[in-house]
Structure 1
Amino acid sequence: MKVTESEFEQLFEENQPKLKSFIYRLVTNTEDVEDLSQETFIKAYKNLHKFKGDSTFKTWLFAIANNLIKDHFRAQKRWTRNAQNNCSQSIKNSSELQEQVMNVYFKNTFEIKNHIDYCFTCVMKYLPLERHIAVMLADIYDFKIAEIAVIMGKSVGSIKHLLFKGRKTMKEVFAEDCTLIHKTGACWKCSELSNTGNSKAETQRKIATLELTKEKNKDATKLYKIRTALIKGIDPLKSSNFQLHDFLLNQTNTANGKTYPKIDKACKDL
C-alpha cells in the first residue's frame, strides 16, 4: 500500500502523541524525546518508498523509533534497583534540591494516579532494555505480540519470553515495594508527596479511592492489570504533574548508581 507524502505527514501527526510518550517513558528526557521523534520523522520520510503495507503505518513507525532508541541506549547503563531511593536520599542531602522540588511541586496539582504512572515508568527502567520495550508496547500501547515481533525484529516466541520475564519482574517489585498494596512496602513516595499541602487523613482518603487499594485478594496479576489500565489513559508529557515528575526522573538518572548518606527525616514536610 503506497503512502503519498501528504498522507505521510497526516499519518505521522496522528501517531506522534503516542510515539512521543513511548519515547519519553523510555528515555525520560524531553530534549532526547524531541531529537528522537525528529529523527524518526526524517528516517521514515526518507524510507517511505520501503513501506509496503505489510504492517500498519503505526507499527512501521514504532519499528523505526525502536531502532533509534536502541542506538541511543547502547552506551548507557540501566537504572539500579534502588535508583528511586537514591533520588530521595540525594534530595534529602541537598537544601538546594529540596528548594527546587518544592518550587516545582507547588506549580502542579498533585494527582496520585499520575504518580502511579511515574512510578511505573521508573520501575520499567530496572528491566533490561528489550524487556522494557516489549512490556511497554504490549501493556501500555496495546500492540499485539505479532506486531511487537515486527517492531523489535524478533520471533513471536522471543517476544512471549520477554513479556513473561518483564511482567514477572514488574509484579515482584510492586509486591515488595509498594505501600499502596502492602503496608510493609518500602516505598512511601505516593503518600510522602501527596501529604504536602494536604492532611494525612486527606491523603489516605485519596489513596483509598484507587482501584489498587480496593483489590482485597492482592492478586499480583490483577493488580498489575489495574495499574496498566490506569496508565494507558495518561500521556506523561501532558500530565498535570509533568514538571514534578520530569524533575524527579532527571534527578533519579543523576543519582543512579551513586551512594548517599541515609538521612531519616522529611524534606520540608515533603
Structure 2
Amino acid sequence: MTSIDADIDISKTYTELLPELGSYLYRLTCDKEVSNDIVQDTFVKVMEKQDQFNGRSSLKTWIFSIGTNLAMDWLRKKKRWSETAQDEAKSLAQSDPHYRAALMDKSQNSPSGAFDFKEHINFCFTCISKTLPLDQQVALILKDIYDFKINEISAILGSPEGTVKHWLFLARQTMSDIFDRRCALVNKQGVCYQCSELNGLFNPKQKQLKNVFQAVDKKDLYTLRTRLVKTIDPLSANGSDLEDTIMQILRKAIDD
C-alpha cells in the first residue's frame, strides 16, 4: 500500500467512525463545542501520526486512543462533578428567568427539543458518570456504552488489563449506588422527584419509565440503563438540543 493509499484508508476509516467518536467525546466532556473541537484535533493528530500506526491494535482503537488522550488532557483541567450537580442546575433554572426561558424555547421551538424517556436515562447516566474518577469514567463508557473489549481499553488508556477490570468494577458499583440513592424511578427521595417541575415539562413519560424500572430486579437495573443508553446518540437524538441547553445550565450552575 502506498502512502497515498494509506492516507485515503485512514481518512475513510476516520470518516466512518466520526458519528461514534463524536458522541463518545461528547459523553466525556458534556460540552458540544469542546467535543467538536476535540474531534477536529483528533483528525489532525491521526493524519500527523499515521506513520506511527503499527497495526498492533485496530485502526478504530488507535483513533479512539488519540481522541481519548486529547479529551483526558482537557478533562484533567476540570473538576469532577458532584452528585448534586443536577440539583444545582434545577435550582438555577428555576431561579433565573433567562435559563428557564431558554429551556422552554428549546422544548417548544427546536426540532431537537423533545426529551424522550430514554434520553432522560441517557442524560442522568452521563451526569453521574462525571462523578467518577476520570480513568473509571473513560473505561466505563468505552466498555459499557461502546462495547470496546478489555484489551482495547487497556491499549487506549495505556494501563494493564487487570487495572481496567478493577476500574470497571469500582465504576459500576459507584454508578449503581448513586442511582439507588438518587433516581426517582427506584427511590422516592431521588433527584427526579426534586426536579418534578422540570420533568413534567420535558419528560411527560416519566411515570411510564418508572413502571418499567420497578418491574425489573434491582440487580439488573444497571444493565437496563446501559442498554437504553446505547440506543441514544446524544448529538442527534430527538432531544439533543434540549439536552445541550440543560448541560450548559448545569455547567454554569457548578462553575465548570
TM-score, with length taken from structure 1: 0.87
- Structure 1 stretches lacking a partner, 5+ long: 259-270
Question: Hey, what's the Cα distance between the residues in 2 that align with 1:39 and 1:213?
Answer: 43
Higher mean displacement: 3-12 or 53-62: 3-12
Question: Hey, what's the Cα distance between the residues in 2 that align with 1:167 and 1:203?
Answer: 24
Question: Hey, what's the Cα distance between the residues in 2 that align with 1:131 and 1:244?
Answer: 27
The answer (yes or no) to whether the contact 1:79–1:257 under 8 Å persists in 2 is no
- Local SS of the residue matching 1:238: coil
Question: Hey, what's the Cα distance between the residues in 1 that align with 2:86 and 2:195?
Answer: 12
- Aligned twin of 1:74: 76
Q: 1:57/1:197 Cα in 2 relative to 1: closer, same or farther (>3 Å)? A: closer
1:203 Cα offset (Å): 5.0
Q: 1:208/1:158 Cα in 2 relative to 1: closer, same or farther (>3 Å)? A: closer
Name which of 128, 132, 135 aligns with 1:127.
132
1:213 maps to amino acid: Q
Question: Hey, what's the Cα distance between the residues in 2 that align with 1:233 and 1:118?
Answer: 13
Q: 1:110/1:67 Cα in 2 relative to 1: closer, same or farther (>3 Å)? A: closer
- Local SS of the residue matching 1:4: helix
- Aligned twin of 2:108: 106
- Aligned twin of 1:117: 122
1:208 Cα offset (Å): 5.0
| Percent sequence identity over aligned pairs | 36
Q: 1:10/1:209 Cα in 2 relative to 1: closer, same or farther (>3 Å)? A: farther
1:43 maps to amino acid: K
- Aligned twin of 2:12: 10
Question: Hey, what's the Cα distance between the residues in 2 that align with 1:102 and 1:125?
Answer: 26
**Aligned pair count?**
251
The answer (yes or no) to whether the contact 2:114–2:242 under 8 Å persists in 1 is no
Higher mean displacement: 173-182 or 99-108: 99-108
Question: Hey, what's the Cα distance between the residues in 2 that align with 1:197 and 1:65?
Answer: 32
Q: 1:145/1:120 Cα in 2 relative to 1: closer, same or farther (>3 Å)? A: same
Q: Which has the higher helix share?
A: 2
- Aligned twin of 2:176: 171
Question: Hey, what's the Cα distance between the residues in 1 that align with 2:103 and 2:70?
Answer: 32
1:147 maps to amino acid: E
1:13 maps to amino acid: T
Q: 1:208/1:132 Cα in 2 relative to 1: closer, same or farther (>3 Å)? A: closer
Q: 1:132/1:77 Cα in 2 relative to 1: closer, same or farther (>3 Å)? A: same
TM-score, with length taken from structure 2: 0.91
1:128 Cα offset (Å): 1.1
1:173 Cα offset (Å): 0.5
Question: Hey, what's the Cα distance between the residues in 2 that align with 1:36 and 1:97?
Answer: 27
Question: Hey, what's the Cα distance between the residues in 2 that align with 1:155 and 1:218?
Answer: 31
- Aligned twin of 1:230: 228
1:248 maps to amino acid: I
1:225 Cα offset (Å): 0.4
Describe how 1:155-166 pairs up with structure 2 within 5 A.
155-166=160-171
Question: Hey, what's the Cα distance between the residues in 2 that align with 1:26 and 1:239?
Answer: 17
- Structure 2 stretches lacking a partner, 5+ long: none
The answer (yes or no) to whether the contact 1:110–1:194 under 8 Å persists in 2 is no
- Aligned twin of 2:188: 183
1:156 maps to amino acid: E
The answer (yes or no) to whether the contact 2:114–2:238 under 8 Å persists in 1 is yes
1:29 Cα offset (Å): 1.3
* Over 3 Å off, 4+ runs: 189-194
The answer (yes or no) to whether the contact 2:62–2:156 under 8 Å persists in 1 is yes
The answer (yes or no) to whether the contact 1:80–1:257 under 8 Å persists in 2 is no
The answer (yes or no) to whether the contact 1:131–1:166 under 8 Å persists in 2 is yes
Q: Deviations over 1:159-202 (max 9, x none)?
A: 0111111111100000001111223324337854442289x7x6
Question: Hey, what's the Cα distance between the residues in 2 that align with 1:203 and 1:123?
Answer: 19
What's the RMSD between the two structures over aligned residues? Answer: 2.1
2:201 maps to amino acid: T
- Local SS of the residue matching 1:147: helix
Question: Hey, what's the Cα distance between the residues in 2 that align with 1:224 and 1:47?
Answer: 38
- Aligned twin of 2:218: 218
